[in-house]
Amino acid sequence: MSGLVLVTGGAGFIGSHLVPKLLSSGFKVRILDPLSAQVHGQVPVDLEWLGGTGIDFIRGDVTVRTDWERALKDVDSIVHLAAETGTGQSMYQVARYNEVNTQATALMLDVLGKIPHQVKRVVLSSSRSIYGEGAYLHPRTQQRVYPSARSAAALAKAQWDPVCAETGDTLDVVATTENDLVSPASIYAATKYAQEDLVRIGCQSMGIGFAIFRLQNVYGERQSLNNPYTGILSIFSTKIRMGSELPLFEDGEESRDFVHVDDVTDALLQGLVVNSSPNTAINVGSGVATSVRHVAEELTRAFGKEPNVVVTGQFRVGDIRHNYADISRLKELLGVQPKISLKEGLQRFADWVLEQPLPEDQLEKANQELRDRKLMN
Ligand SMILES: NC(=O)c1ccc[n+]([C@@H]2O[C@H](COP(=O)([O-])OP(=O)(O)OC[C@H]3O[C@@H](n4cnc5c(N)ncnc54)[C@H](O)[C@@H]3O)[C@@H](O)[C@H]2O)c1
């Protein structure tokens, strides 16, 4: 696979790592991105990498049909990254999330069905959020179970861990595979799963190959420091630089699968170049669960400071407790094995952050928006 790749949302965090890799692998690249103010700030910073040779940059929007028509000219493959990405924000900006994530993906397929084109493969960045809580084991029966979202009442009583609805036993988290139950618990997750269905069915019907990547918590250099609605490590990094305490929700023992953006873009690139189109969904993560407390402390150390965390007991309705990926399919189908350890990745991230202007700490503003809607205590 070679030729011209259209990367939607290519000026964003993941795109900024993928595009240089595509160029050095011999692809030509076109980006379709409006440089949204929520991600890039009113005056975009750190976009020097975009000045690289060979990038055809269209400042445009995936919700606009004519922008797709223009962007798809002579394109051989698409990496569809453009999206609104704030889980909490999606709960009260429902139509906007649906339009940018779901409807725009439908528009892409609609245009592909109507204009002459030469697109042979579509790579989609989906999200682990589609699994909701994901897979757990019942401690006594060892049965694989899928707890539903934790209720606001349970969270208010500090019952953080998912329990079996019948026996009341606390469940043990296990790695979620692509065959496990899909159970979106937020509007964002619902739109990402809708994107998957649209791409799978639309591409199959038009004979276009596809690869759907379910990304875990991606972190690393160039993650937006302006967007308070997503990116826990970016939010923490601003607080660390300001000398503020790091507020840990729940008891701080909730965990995520943190994967460095370099490993993620290796997977996306492989999904594009592998000879036989995957035509399926593939988890991308480190395969390791890390508590938020641990990552907060390690990130602080990467800045050369002593950890200063405070457990707030706060919670957000719809947040999951734990989730980490089974990454065997990633290895089997694409031969990709994540390489960047958490320690190395956090150091790379911290070193980059220190070269950036100190952004405003907007976490409280984002939290207040949730409280106003009774989505946070
Ligand atoms: N970063 C993560 O942890 C993570 C995890 C799971 C899935 N994903 C998915 O990966 C993709 C990229 O995420 P990211 O972290 O790079 O986000 P990002 O916010 O840094 O980048 C998204 C880019 O999309 C652009 N964009 C926004 N609205 C657009 C529109 N209407 N038309 C075209 N472009 C638009 C933004 O300007 C931005 O440059 C998204 O689809 C996201 O859902 C990310």
Q: What confidence score (pLDDT) does residue 224 get? A: 85
Is the pLDDT assigned to residue 337 strictly greater than 80?
yes
Q: What confidence score (pLDDT) does residue 175 get? A: 98
Instruction: Give 298-345 as a DSSP string.
Output: HHHHHTTS---EEE----BTT--S---B--HHHHHHH-------HHHH
Q: What confidence score (pLDDT) does residue 368 get? A: 66
- Ligand 1 atom nearest 224 alpha carbon: 20
Do 316 and 90 contact (CB within 8 A), yes or no? Answer: no
pTM of the model: 0.94
pLDDT tens track for 225-257: 887 767 789 999 999 999 999 999 999 999 999
Question: Does residue 309's CB lie within 6 angstroms of at least one atom of ligand 1?
Answer: no
Task: Find all residues with CB under 8 Å of 267, minimum gap 6, and list them.
Answer: 213, 282, 284, 330, 334, 336
Is 131 an active-site residue?
A: no
CA angle 272, 104, 84 (to 5 degrees): 85
Distance from the CA of 170 to the center of ligand 1, in angstroms?
A: 35
Q: What confidence score (pLDDT) does residue 363 get? A: 64
Stretch 176-200: mean pLDDT:
96
Is the pLDDT assigned to residue 317 strictly greater than 90?
no
Most confident of 51-60, 270-279, 351-360: 270-279
Is the pLDDT assigned to residue 209 strictly greater than 70?
yes
Query: What is the rounded CA–CA span in Å between residue 120 and residue 5?
Result: 10
Query: What is the rounded CA–CA span in Å between residue 74 and residue 30?
Result: 10
Query: What is the rounded CA–CA span in Å between residue 200 and residue 58?
Result: 26
pLDDT tens track for 339-349: 999 999 999 99
Of 225, 261, 231, 239, the C-alpha closest to 357 is 225
Q: What percent of the chain has pLDDT over 90?
A: 81
Q: What confidence score (pLDDT) does residue 44 get? A: 53
Least confident of 94-103, 208-217, 367-376: 367-376
Using 50, 70 and 90 to split pLDDT, how confident is the model at 370?
low
* Domains of the chain in sequence order: 4-372 (3.40.50.720)
pLDDT tens track for 133-186: 999 999 999 999 999 889 889 999 999 999 998 999 999 999 999 999 999 989
Question: Does residue 218's CB lie within 6 angstroms of at least one atom of ligand 1?
Answer: yes
Q: Average pLDDT over the chain, rounded to whole?
A: 92
Which ranges of the chain does DSSP label H, i.e. alpha helix?
Answer: 13-24, 37-40, 65-71, 87-90, 94-97, 104-114, 152-156, 187-206, 232-242, 261-273, 292-302, 328-334, 342-353, 363-372
Stretch 62-69: mean pLDDT:
98
The owner of tokens 């990405």 is 85
Question: Does residue 41's CB lie within 6 angstroms of at least one atom of ligand 1?
Answer: no
**Phi/psi at 56 (5° precision):** -100, 105
Using 50, 70 and 90 to split pLDDT, how confident is the model at 50?
confident
The owner of tokens 């276009």 is 208
Is the pLDDT assigned to residue 42 strictly greater than 60?
no
